[in-house]
Chain A
Amino acid sequence: MVTEKLNIQTKRKFSINLTKNEKLGLLLVAPLLIWLALVLLYPFIYVIFLSLFKRDPGSSIIQFKGLIYFYNLLFRDDLFWQSLLRSFYWTASNVIAQFFFGILVALLLRQKFRGASFIRLWIIVPWITPVVVVILVWGWMLNPTLGIVEALLRQVGFLQGYLNLLGNVKTIMNTLIGIHTWRFFPFVSIIVLGRMLGIPEELYEAAKVDGASNLQRFLHITLPQLRGVLLTFLMLATVWTFTSFDTIFIMTGGGPVDVTTTLPILVYRKAFKTFQLNEAAALSLIMFLFTSIFMAIYIKLGVERDD
């Protein structure tokens, strides 16, 4: 009885503390939060569960396995280390290339020329192209016998035999990086360009007057102004590229002979080819560790910029 009364009292106190407006605000954001709790948080907790516990098929006995699945990955699986290194290579090369071309193109599109606004809009086409279409069309264009790329190179006289960029174990990873970069760099350009166009023109004029060269203006005005956008996007691109699955999976499935197997591909193979679901879950968590390091940096940078 007494506790009930207390409960009611505290409840009432709590509801009095919230004004009508505060309640409405919470009510509006609640559906999204509930959705995220059910479809994002719950599966995530389930991954953690899977990486630590084993349920025997047929019986409902749940066994605690400790860190055995992590141990298996780290010390008994050469493919894990190979894939990890390959993931780092894939991520670093991609992000560097994306930002190099992205910034270069943004600098170009910043200039005034006829049709600038048209190109500033439509340059995004690679990024809105479905990944499977990207793979299909590049596979077709890079086809060694029928593709346009090699045909043009042969026509001009740059090429005698066949390149076969997608069929060669040595070049296939870099070809995939090229294709992925092609799809993503326009996105970097658009974001960077948006920020560049917001830089006050007076800054440049003042620097010009002071005799600063093009390069100096880029280094001392453009770059510092872009710093925030570039840093946040660097982190975002790193997370996205590190966890990207479909470009490699559709093109090669991780082959030939594992040379394009990155961590996301390895998760897929463990889960759906060799049916080691628990190892796959442990591997997901190791990936989560890496991405949360990137995200922590991102959030920290975001917070710094908010203040």
Chain B
Amino acid sequence: MIDQTIISKNLYNDKISQSPKVLKLTKQVISKGFILVCVFLLLVVVLGPTYWMFVTSLKPNMEILAQPPTLIPLKPTFASYIVLFKSGFLRYIFNSIVVSGITVVVSTILGTLAGYSLSRFKYPGKKYIGRLILFSYLFPGVLLMVPMYILASKLNLIDNLVVLPIIYVTFSAPFYSWLLKAFFDSLPKYIEDAAMIDGATRWQTIWKIIIPLSAPGVAGAALWTFIMSWQEYMFAVILLSSDENFTVPVGLARWLSFQLRDWGVMNAGAVLSILPVLILFAFLGRSFISGLTAGSNK
């Protein structure tokens, strides 16, 4: 097999040297150009809307109404943001940070422990426990819309922010543990063995060796959890009722449904809602993507 490839490789090289070099060059240039055009179009499609909301949020009202629209704000202004801050949007952001923060912390504790256990230990029923966790990750939240509402009202947790992290952890911790299991699987086991041979206890090994080593995996999974809970809408809208408790998605959607047509302010709200996600992604994006691909290719 290998011999064959080498032989045919030589054949192939001979063929190339015979063909006119100019033709090959133009062909390369055309295909390079084609790729670049496609990539440019892709960028416009994928990042265009985000760019457009930034631009709109910085335009004064007159310019927003201009036809045809200006692609770059001629007179950039923060007027929309000032209106936004006066409207109580910061309260939504504060609520969302609290809810997402608690969700990330609790998911990290539950997910890391479970992921480590699934990766490193052997015990009866482990296979089924693993499958059970995977199944709960796949479980669609919509199906629990009705019982969550009833149970929350029985526990007097309607319109109480605490109820959201409790639900969000349920849907994020299983995938968290799955990502971490994949990550721990990729760490060689002899690291711990060496530490234990040197006299470290199991807990010391976990605390001093495993936790520092798992930082990239945790970063990716934590970012995923943050993104999920930051944008969650369904449970928030059925369980929250007063304006002061709204998270960002509920508050913003409420504005939209009021047909409030102040597009500058609404786009400013959209920018503030996506900004934390983009900033975190800029720092943790790589471990996020690699964790995701590793976790799903397993």
Known: A132-B256, A205-B9, A245-B142. A33 touches B233 (CB 8 A): no
In the complex, A288 Cα to B203 Cα: how many Å?
A: 41
- Contact at B227–A40, with CB atoms within 8 Å? no
Encoded as 1 (CB less than 8 Å from any A CB) or 0, chain B from 132 to 174 comes to 1111101111111111111100000000000000110110011
Known: A36-B170, A148-B69. A243 touches B143 (CB 8 A): yes
- Contact at A136–B113, with CB atoms within 8 Å? no
| Of A58-66, A157-165, A167-175, A187-195, the one with at least 4 CB within 8 A of chain B | A187-195
B12 within 8 A of A: yes
Q: How far is the CB of A210 from chain B (nearest CB, A)?
A: 7
On chain B, the residues within 8 Å of A206 by CB distance are 5, 8
- Contact at B121–A21, with CB atoms within 8 Å? yes
On chain A, the residues within 8 Å of B174 by CB distance are 32, 36
Nearest residue in B to A232 (C-beta to C-beta)? B296
In the complex, A245 Cα to B15 Cα: how many Å?
A: 57
A141 within 8 A of B: yes
B190 within 8 A of A: no
| Of B18-26, B46-54, B82-90, B213-221, the one with at least 4 CB within 8 A of chain A | B46-54
Known: A36-B136, A108-B35. A243 touches B141 (CB 8 A): yes
On chain A, the residues within 8 Å of B65 by CB distance are 146
| Of A73-81, A89-97, A265-273, the one with at least 4 CB within 8 A of chain B | A265-273
- Contact at A31–B114, with CB atoms within 8 Å? yes
B248 within 8 A of A: yes
On chain B, the residues within 8 Å of A177 by CB distance are none
In the complex, A113 Cα to B53 Cα: how many Å?
A: 29
- Contact at B113–A29, with CB atoms within 8 Å? yes
On chain B, the residues within 8 Å of A24 by CB distance are 121, 202
- Contact at A25–B126, with CB atoms within 8 Å? yes
On chain A, the residues within 8 Å of B141 by CB distance are 243
Most B CB atoms within 10 A — which of A23, A108, A239, A250? A250
- Contact at B117–A29, with CB atoms within 8 Å? yes
Q: How many residues of A contact B (CB 8 A)?
A: 102
- Contact at A209–B8, with CB atoms within 8 Å? yes
Q: Which of B38-74 contact A (CB under 8 A)?
A: 38-39, 42-43, 45-47, 49-50, 52-53, 56, 64-65, 67-69
- Contact at B46–A39, with CB atoms within 8 Å? no
- Contact at A137–B49, with CB atoms within 8 Å? yes
On chain A, the residues within 8 Å of B273 by CB distance are 130, 132-133
B interface: dominant SS: helix
A186 within 8 A of B: yes
In the complex, A21 Cα to B117 Cα: how many Å?
A: 10
Nearest residue in B to A126 (C-beta to C-beta)? B46
In the complex, A133 Cα to B251 Cα: how many Å?
A: 11
Q: How far is the CB of A296 from chain B (nearest CB, A)?
A: 10
- Contact at A229–B147, with CB atoms within 8 Å? no
- Contact at A22–B123, with CB atoms within 8 Å? yes
Within 8 Å by CB of B124, from A22, A119, A129, A145, lies A22
Known: A121-B289, A133-B273. A271 touches B146 (CB 8 A): yes
A105 within 8 A of B: yes
A280 within 8 A of B: yes
B27 within 8 A of A: no
In the complex, A264 Cα to B9 Cα: how many Å?
A: 57
Most A CB atoms within 10 A — which of B50, B177, B238, B248? B50
B98 within 8 A of A: no
- Contact at B110–A32, with CB atoms within 8 Å? yes
On chain A, the residues within 8 Å of B12 by CB distance are 208-209
Q: How far is the CB of A119 from chain B (nearest CB, A)?
A: 6
The total of Cβ contacts below 8 Å across the A-B interface reads 289
On chain A, the residues within 8 Å of B290 by CB distance are 194
A68 within 8 A of B: no
Known: A108-B38, A267-B146. A194 touches B277 (CB 8 A): no
On chain B, the residues within 8 Å of A82 by CB distance are none
- Contact at A33–B129, with CB atoms within 8 Å? yes
On chain A, the residues within 8 Å of B56 by CB distance are 140
B11 within 8 A of A: yes
On chain A, the residues within 8 Å of B64 by CB distance are 146
Besides the known contacts A40-B144, A242-B140, 18 further A-B residue pairs in the complex with CB atoms under 8 A apart: A29-B117, A33-B132, A35-B169, A36-B136, A36-B174, A113-B36, A123-B42, A130-B231, A146-B64, A191-B292, A191-B297, A194-B294, A209-B5, A243-B140, A264-B142, A264-B145, A284-B143, A291-B143
Give me 28 A-to-B residue pairs in the complex whose CB atoms sit less than 8 angstroms apart, sorted by A's number.
A21-B122, A25-B117, A32-B114, A39-B166, A39-B170, A40-B144, A105-B42, A113-B36, A126-B49, A130-B273, A132-B273, A133-B231, A137-B49, A146-B64, A148-B52, A151-B67, A190-B293, A243-B143, A250-B233, A264-B145, A267-B145, A271-B149, A272-B149, A285-B143, A287-B140, A287-B143, A291-B140, A299-B131
Residue positions of A touching B, CB distance < 8 A: 18, 21-26, 28-29, 31-33, 35-36, 39-40, 42-44, 46-47, 50, 105, 108, 111, 113, 115, 119-126, 128-141, 143, 145-146, 148, 151-152, 154-155, 182, 186, 190-191, 193-195, 198, 202, 205-206, 208-210, 229, 232-233, 236, 239-240, 242-246, 249-250, 253, 264, 267-268, 271-272, 277, 280-281, 284-285, 287-288, 291, 295, 298-299, 302
Interface pairs A-B: 6 shortest CB-CB? A25-B121, A194-B293, A130-B231, A243-B140, A28-B117, A43-B147
